[in-house]
Amino acid sequence: MSKFGNKEKAEMPELNTSSLPDLIFSILFFFMIVTSMREEEVKVDVKLPKGSERVLTEIEHKSSVINVYVGVPTKAEDRARYGDRNCIQLNDKISGINEVRDFVNDGRKSMKQVDQARMKVALKVNQHADMGIVTDVKMELRQAGALNVLYSADKLAEKGE
Amino acid sequence: MGKSKRKVPGINASSTADISFILLIFFLVVTSMNSSLGLDVRLPKPPEDEAEPPKVFKRNNFTVFVNMNNQIMVTLGDKEGEEVEVSDLKDLAKTFITNRDNLDIYPALEKDTIVYVDAANEEHPLPASSFEGRGEIMVAKKHVISLQTDRATQYQLYFDVQAQLYEAYTELRDSLAKARFGKPFDALDENDQMVCRLAYPIMISEAEPRKYEK
């Protein structure tokens, strides 16, 4: 049984880990490129509507985009305060409809000149929200002169393609 | 002379992996995936109190009404409205906008001349003799697609309806691009794209949602 006898003496060869940092660095760079900084904490449940890829466009200039979220608050304390209904979130807080206009105007003022001209409001609305609140928001946007609007949506996984 | 023989001690790099791991995790936490896709629309200017809504001939009007039970009704001119599925909307809208057979129920066609357009200055189209896509085209210039919703209509359905209507316009522009320029719309340069846009301008008007008494 000499073939199996000297097991304890056999040493495991050491794994060469010198390329590990390079590997991790490339993953790091990948993530730095594909992702963007999270600007605000989303406090409402925004499950975006789904749409066919053919009609969806991608935002080119992220610095000229203002986000408006509509959905039911996710936190229990917010729900207790605002009720179990669809709310509007501007910046980091849940707001009323009358604050939309000032929010858009302030957002526009804080932008660079180039971005002001191509300013776009991304409406991130939950797919189950009702049109009432969406129309109210749109009406405010029209009053604020923010006519370029993007109805944010997710890609629909299309079958048979 | 002796210097060249001196050995430089190697830097211990075994912790670089840990450092980059920490960086990686930091970036995973503070960033979010790019999810900035969406349907690009342009809202109409705010209504002015004194201004009368422009009069639209019945045959030029295509009304889509989405009710609180998420049913879609399409009314053509003064015909009786009928219930349709979302997926039918695109073809209905295309038939309406083009009016290929020149029928009385669809909008009146007018002759329009395609001219060279400077995308940077769309107000003043410049005629150019060397422009290959020029020529006459019959378009329903005065058509209006009117989209009405109830306050209780679900947003997803509204989005689907909008997407269908926009897709109708996109396909019409694309087929015009292929017919006049021999290329799909996306492959055209900015000026030629503007030509196609002007031939089929998006005319979707959104009325205030109705609130029905129960």
Q: What is the pLDDT of residues B24-64, one digit of tens each?
A: 888 888 776 656 788 888 888 777 765 666 667 777 888 88
Q: Which fold has domain B58-109+141-206?
A: Nucleotidyltransferase; domain 5 (3.30.420)
Interface of A with B in 87-146 (CB under 8 A): 120, 122, 125-132, 134-135, 138-139, 141-143, 145-146
- What is the Cα–Cα distance from A134 to B39, expressed in whole angstroms? 15
Residue A67 has pLDDT above 70, yes or no: yes
To the nearest whole Å, the CA of B212 is away from the closest chain A CA by 12
Total number of domains in chain A:
1
The residues, any chain, with a CB within 8 Å of residue B199's CB and separated by 6 or more, are: B112, B114, B137, B139, B173, B176
pLDDT band, very low/low/confident/very high, at A6 (cuts 50, 70, 90): low
Interface of B with A in 69-108 (CB under 8 A): none
Taking CA atoms, what residue in A is nearest to B26?
A28
Domain membership of residue A11 (yes or no) is no
Q: CATH code at A92?
A: 3.30.420.270
The residues, any chain, with a CB within 8 Å of residue A139's CB and separated by 6 or more, are: B46, B208
Domain membership of residue A44 (yes or no) is no
On whether the CB atoms of residues B208 and A135 are closer than 8 A, the answer is yes
Closest C-alpha to B143, from B49, B41, B54? B54
- What is the Cα–Cα distance from A152 to B134, expressed in whole angstroms? 36
Q: Quote the mean pLDDT of chain A.
A: 84
Residue A108 has pLDDT above 60, yes or no: yes
- What range does the domain containing A56 cover? 50-155
Q: Quote the mean pLDDT of chain B.
A: 77
The 10s digit of each residue's pLDDT in B176-210 is 888 877 888 888 888 778 878 888 888 888 876 55
Residue B125 has pLDDT above 70, yes or no: no
Residues of chain A contacting residue B39, judged by C-beta atoms under 8 Å apart = 51, 55-57, 150-151, 153
The 10s digit of each residue's pLDDT in B87-105 is 888 888 888 888 777 777 7
Domain membership of residue A140 (yes or no) is yes
For residue B204, report the phi and psi dihedrals to the nearest 5 degrees.
Answer: -110, 120
Residue A133 has pLDDT above 50, yes or no: yes
pLDDT of residue A31: 81
Residues of chain B contacting residue A51, judged by C-beta atoms under 8 Å apart = 39, 159-160, 163
- For chain B, which residues make up each domain, given as ranges? 58-109+141-206
pLDDT of residue A161: 40
